[in-house]
Structures are given as structure tokens and as C-alpha cells.
């Protein structure tokens, strides 16, 4: 069992999730059960799956959960783009959030490749 809290990719994905929860507080009320909920769930799924994979037995299981986390990171990246284009994210927040989502995707991809070799 690995301590997920020590992984930089978990720390960054957790921080991004917190940032997105804060950013989505200002989304329109009609998006509460739509984009707000979906973006929060997608973002939270990334550190959640990293944590779950670390609690599993062996690298094969960890790799599987990291792959799921990568899919959720891609979903988060798209939803940030959508929210920005709808004008729900500020001009300063949108690029920062998008860049962080992209970096987390890269980190997860590298981590998965390391486990494959």
C-alpha cells in the first residue's frame, strides 16, 4: 500500500478540485445540477481514483485506477473549457485551471507509462 498523500499528482489534483469547487460557487443557479455538479464530480474523481489505486494490491491495480483518473482529468479539462466559453469562469481563472488540468493529465500519463514498463 502506498500513501497517496505523498504523490505530487494527488496533491495537485486535490488542489485543483478545491479550486474548482470555489470557482463553481459563482456559476448560475440553473447549472447547479448540470455543469456545476458534473465539473465537481469529474475533478474529485481524479484524486479519489489515485487514492483508491494506492490502496489496492499491486501495480496492475494502481495502473487501472490511474487510467480511470486520467479519463476523469480529460473530462475535467473539457468541462473547464466549456465553462470558460460559456463565460462562467473568469478570464484569469480559466487559463490557470485549464493549464493545471493539462499538467495533471501529463503527470498521470507518465505515471501510467512507468507502471507499464
Tell the residue number behind the cell numbers 460559456, with chain if given.
Answer: 86
Structural domains present in the chain: 4-116 (1.20.1440.60)
| C-beta of residue 108 within 8 angstroms of C-beta of residue 66 | yes
Cβ count near 59 (within 10 Å): 14
What pLDDT, on a 0 to 100 scale, did the predictor assign at position 116? 87
Instruction: From 44, 41, 47, select the one nearest 10 (Cα to Cα).
Output: 47
pLDDT one-digit tens code per residue, 68-91: 999 999 999 999 999 999 999 999
Torsion on CA atoms 36, 68, 9, 92, rounded to nearest 10: -30
Torsion sign across C-alpha atoms 85, 90, 92, 93: negative
Binning pLDDT at 50, 70 and 90, where does residue 1 land?
A: low
Scan for cell 469562469, then name that residue: 89
Cα separation, 96 vs 105, whole angstroms: 14
Tens of pLDDT, residues 4-41: 999 999 999 999 999 999 999 999 999 999 999 999 99
Amino acid at each position: 500500500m502506498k500513501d497517496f498523500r505523498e504523490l505530487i499528482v494527488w496533491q495537485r489534483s486535490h488542489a485543483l478540485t478545491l479550486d474548482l469547487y470555489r470557482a463553481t460557487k459563482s456559476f448560475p443557479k440553473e447549472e447547479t445540477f448540470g455543469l456545476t455538479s458534473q465539473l465537481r464530480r469529474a475533478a474529485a474523481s481524479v484524486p479519489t481514483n489515485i487514492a483508491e489505486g494506492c490502496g489496492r494490491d499491486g501495480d496492475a491495480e494502481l495502473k487501472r485506477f490511474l487510467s480511470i483518473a486520467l479519463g476523469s482529468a480529460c473530462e475535467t479539462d473539457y468541462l473547464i473549457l466549456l465553462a470558460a466559453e460559456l463565460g462562467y469562469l473568469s478570464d484569469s481563472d480559466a487559463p490557470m485551471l485549464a493549464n493545471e488540468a493539462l499538467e495533471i493529465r501529463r503527470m498521470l500519463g507518465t505515471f501510467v507509462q512507468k507502471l507499464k514498463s
